[in-house]
């Protein structure tokens, strides 16, 4: 999954502590995909977006470094050739 790879990259190579995102409440498939990666809902802005005559929440989600397994990234780094001097 691309989202998982991006999260692992951010935590391992960029040294991020957490990543936060916004998703619209009507995007249930998107929310399920983010939850599968490890994101958790941390809040909502109720009725913040209007689509036609209907209002939807904006869902705030985040993931922390403690929630991410970076062992795959460590293994990939070990496979890299040693730098030339």
Q: What is the pTM of this model?
A: 0.80
Is residue 20 one of the residues assigned to a domain? yes
Overall domain count for the chain? 1
Q: Report pLDDT digits (tens) over 53-76.
A: 999 999 999 999 999 888 888 888
DSSP string spanning the chain? -HHHHHHHHHHHTS--SEEEEEEETT-HHHHHHHHHHT-EEEEEEEEEEEETTEEEEEEEEEEEGGG---HHHHHHHHHSPPPP-
CATH number for the domain harbouring residue 58: 3.40.630.30
pLDDT tens digits, 9-56 = 899 889 999 999 999 999 999 999 999 999 999 999 999 999 899 999
Residue 52 lies in a domain: yes
Q: Which pLDDT belongs to residue 80? A: 81
Q: Supply the range of the domain harboring residue 48.
A: 2-75
């Amino acid at each position: 999954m691309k989202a998982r790879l991006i999260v692992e990259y951010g935590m391992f190579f960029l040294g991020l502590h957490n990543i936060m995102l916004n998703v619209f409440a009507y995007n249930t498939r998107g929310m399920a995909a983010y939850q599968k990666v490890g994101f958790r809902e941390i809040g909502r802005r109720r009725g913040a977006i209007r689509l036609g005559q209907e209002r939807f929440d904006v869902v705030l989600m985040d993931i922390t470094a403690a929630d991410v397994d970076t062992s795959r990234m460590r293994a990939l780094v070990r496979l890299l050739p040693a730098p030339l001097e």
